[in-house]
Structure 1
């Protein structure tokens, strides 16, 4: 199968399937992408970069406020660009969940 054939098939996937594919590919590239996890009792069970307490909604909100990826990587030195790719993919696939988490955390 050619790259173009694979790309064509990938474009037909749902957002959540695309996010899972990005996570799988990131892991196989050894780019230190940790993936996204939800752990009861950690950050209220919201989606976080695996092995951290860095919530996806927090990264999305920071990006909405104009904070660059470079600044995020500097502020959170233990995550990688691959982790941000995973976070953005997750946020795209589960945009309603992320928007609700941002709303809830701004009410506190």
Structure 2
């Protein structure tokens, strides 16, 4: 197990170093374009859960959907079952909900804050 983690780290370090070497050869305009692209690129923060700047305020959303995890959790706290949520959001899969609930469990403070902020608006 340790060997696998070490190999992954070494591969990642090598990849990052290779990227640095490429970036240093870019013009200032090319670097600006790269930074702009990276700033808008979705980032997977948990399995099936992404944050995308300027999409839903950068909140954690279900993969490829503009559906924040906190909204699903708010529905669940309001008494909605998984089946009801799946019917209300046809693009969702049971796996999406499992990913959302895992994210909620590990990011409870964030989710509570977002639900509270939304209810205050």
What TM-score comes out, normalization by structure 2 length?
Answer: 0.61
Mapped to 1, the partners of 2:111 and 2:54 lie a distance apart of: 18
Where do 5+ consecutive residues of structure 1 fail to align?
1-18, 24-34
Q: Residue 67 of structure 1: CA displacement?
A: 0.6
Partner residue, 2:95: 82
Q: Residue 105 in 1 paired to residue 118 in 2?
A: yes
What TM-score comes out, normalization by structure 1 length?
Answer: 0.68
Q: Residue 62 of structure 1: CA displacement?
A: 0.2
Q: CA RMSD in A?
A: 1.3
Moved over 3 A (4+): none
Which structure is richer in relative contact order (CA contacts within 8 A, separation 6 or more)? Answer: 1
Q: Return the index of the structure with the highest Cα Rg.
A: 2
Which has the larger helix fraction? 2
Partner residue, 1:64: 77
